[in-house]
Amino acid sequence: MITIQGKGVSTGVAAGPLYFYQRAKGTLRRYEVEDREAEFARFKAAQAKAMEQLGVLAEKAREEAGDEAAMLFETHQMMCEDMDYEEAIEGFIRESGINAEAAVTDAGAAQAEAFAAMEDDYFKARAADVKDISTRIVGILMGVVQGGIDSEVPVILAADDLAPSETVQLDKSKILGFVTSGGSGSSHTAILARTMGIPAIIGVGDQLKPEYEGREVIVDGGTGSVVVDADDDTRERLMKKRTELLHRQQLLNQLRGQPNVSRDGQEVRIYCNIGNPEDVHAVLENDGGGIGLFRSEFLYLNCDDYPTEDYQFEAYKKVLSDMGGKEVVIRTLDIGADKMIGYFNLPHEENPALGNRALRICLNRPEIFRTQLRALYRASAYGRLSIMFPMVTSVWEVKEAKKLCEQVKAELAEEGIPFSEEVDVGIMIETPAAAVVSDRLAKVVDFFSIGTNDLTQYTLACDRQNNDLGRFFNAHHPAVLRLIKMVAENAHKEGIWCGICGELGADLDLTETFLSIGIDELSVSPRSVLPLRQKVRDTEVAAVREKLVDDLMSDRNTI
């Protein structure tokens, strides 16, 4: 038995054969062929297979994220059959007599170089597409399975980490759990695992050896352990834990459809945080009351260039219509700091967390912001949309952003494009400045949602990305809790609602505190909805209100 320790980022226990995610790499062999005709036919067969795979991917993307998302793969199909590309490959095979793998690689590299040298940004970005297509065809020629999982049975998937475009392609019914050598709790794999409700362990480094492939592993996403070839006692213990967790989930399922009301009648809305349109399934499955935070940067991270208005419109529209009239709070672009995107060409900064990020970028580059706002307002005709701005520090920023909203609405009205007049506009409170001037901010917005991840980082001057600062990053610090209380009070004085969408919202040790200070909405990962509902229903707020509020002002939490 071999036990490997990583960091659990999505709870649950699962057992299954270990399977390493397949990428089309391997060593490319370059050789001269005898039968050039047969070699060209081998290329044509691989090209046809690539077209077929891309067709399947386009359909899958269409189902999950709409027509615009499918277009990426349809463009790849067109490029795969492009005459110039094919003729270059044919030339290498027929005239130089080299094998198909080498011919595709060389032709792809030459075409990518030509695209990269072009002036136009759109064509520049196509260089990555040509490389992607060539990698796919070479993978087929070399017999490497594309799309990750070539197994009849579901597996525990091991990888270094997965790119967003790779996660789109995974057959999710084949995955029992994830183990990655790198990654972080906010990596795409971790977010995907939490949303799918399957265990995930990250950061196992090189402890997971290729020779473990196919052997049975048991992963425990709660403790972060990965056991290869478990002995009988360990297997029995972990399987018992698995049964208990499943049983607990069944009990929680009975809470579906029940209200989030405390024993003494205080109600709180429990919404969900999502990262992409597919996640709506998990929201509905877990009975989330709405979406309190759609991190729209997913759309930008998933593209090689600025996503167009139509592309964004399709994605927002899909989420709004799939939510069937329930409230959906979409946060405008929040990049910079930990979420960098190459094509934004942001200059290097000494302190990116304090730099040009989120709303600051949007106000400095209004053309990008306007595209997103137009897409959002257009989508508002298909459901109940609220728009939220991140990283606010001052009232003037909000006023400037709202002015752009008004301009966009006026434009749409003039163009005769429908949109809803009922869109609420709110802000995230995630800087101490915003919390301190929340009395003023409350006068200019419709709601607040407290981003406790950043609020903790900025209040405690403690980098949320730095794992070595673990014990200093204390979201229970009274400084953070007092700010939350102050923000809620200022919101209520102006008659607007106040929610929490940072990770702290799902912290069951604080549910009573949040109810006692009158938080109106908690937005959490879909899987946290039912445990949180259970906790709310078990709480008697009046009985603990005074004590809890007193505690916030004292040093109950180590200062």
Residues 115-174 that bind ligand PEP (CB under 6 A): none
In whole angstroms, how close is the CB of 296 to ligand PEP at the nearest point? Answer: 10
Beta strand 269-274 with 291-295 is: parallel
Of 272, 303, 405, 501, the active-site residue reads 501
How many residues interact with ligand PEP (rule CB under 6 A)?
10
Nearer to Mg ion, 97 or 432 (CB): 432
CA 506 to chain centre: 17
Nearer to ligand PEP, 190 or 219 (CB): 190
Spatial separation of the C-alpha atoms in residues 109 and 494, rounded to whole Å: 60
Residues 500-539 that bind ligand PEP (CB under 6 A): 501-502
Binding mask 397-436 for ligand PEP (x = CB under 6 A): ---------------------------------x------
By CB neighbour count within 10 A (0-12 exposed, 13-18 middle, 19+ buried), where does 82 fall? middle
- Report what 295 binds from ligand PEP, Mg ion, none; CB cut-off 5-8 Å by kind: ligand PEP
Spatial separation of the C-alpha atoms in residues 57 and 76, rounded to whole Å: 10
In whole angstroms, how close is the CB of 501 to Mg ion at the nearest point? Answer: 9
Helices 309-322, 366-379: inter-axial angle, 10-degree rounding: 40
DSSP 233-266: HHHHHHHHHHHHHHHHHHHHHTTTT---B-TTS-
In whole angstroms, how close is the CB of 431 to ligand PEP at the nearest point? Answer: 10
Q: In this chain, which stretch among 137-145, 376-384, 419-427, 452-460 interacts with ligand PEP, using CB under 6 A?
A: 452-460
Contact criterion met (CB below 8 Å) for 334 and 297 = yes
By CB neighbour count within 10 A (0-12 exposed, 13-18 middle, 19+ buried), where does 527 fall? buried
Q: DSSP assignment, residue 325?
A: T
Nearer to Mg ion, 102 or 504 (CB): 504
Catalytic site residue 76?
no
In whole angstroms, how close is the CB of 314 to Mg ion at the nearest point? Answer: 26
Contacts of 409 (CB under 8 A, 6+ apart): 377, 419
In whole angstroms, how close is the CB of 303 to ligand PEP at the nearest point? Answer: 18
Nearer to ligand PEP, 199 or 451 (CB): 451
Q: Tell me: does residue 453 bind ligand PEP (CB under 6 A).
A: yes
Q: Tell me: does residue 278 bind ligand PEP (CB under 6 A).
A: no
CA 510 to chain centre: 25
By CB neighbour count within 10 A (0-12 exposed, 13-18 middle, 19+ buried), where does 471 fall? exposed
- Quote the tokens at residue 527: 């899987």
In whole angstroms, how close is the CB of 422 to ligand PEP at the nearest point? Answer: 24
Task: With H, G, I as helix, E, B as strand and everything else as coil, classify residue 323.
Answer: coil
Catalytic site residue 501?
yes
Of 76, 188, 362, 498, the active-site residue reads 188
State the residue for tokens 């492009």: 82
Near ligand PEP by CB under 6 A: residue from 225, 452, 528, 534? 452
Q: In this chain, which stretch among 34-42, 174-182, 447-455, 467-475 interacts with ligand PEP, using CB under 6 A?
A: 447-455
In whole angstroms, how close is the CB of 406 to Mg ion at the nearest point? Answer: 25
Nearer to ligand PEP, 219 or 506 (CB): 506
Nearer to Mg ion, 313 or 369 (CB): 369
State the residue for tokens 């290729």: 210
Residues 298-337 that bind ligand PEP (CB under 6 A): 334
Contact criterion met (CB below 8 Å) for 193 and 222 = no
Strands in 21-166 per DSSP E: 155-159
Footprint on this chain of Mg ion (rule: CB under 5 A): 430, 451, 454
Q: In this chain, which stretch among 22-30, 95-103, 411-419, 445-453 interacts with ligand PEP, using CB under 6 A?
A: 445-453
Active-site positions? 188, 501
Instruction: Tell me which residues touch ligand PEP (CB under 6 A).
Output: 293, 295, 334, 430, 451-454, 501-502
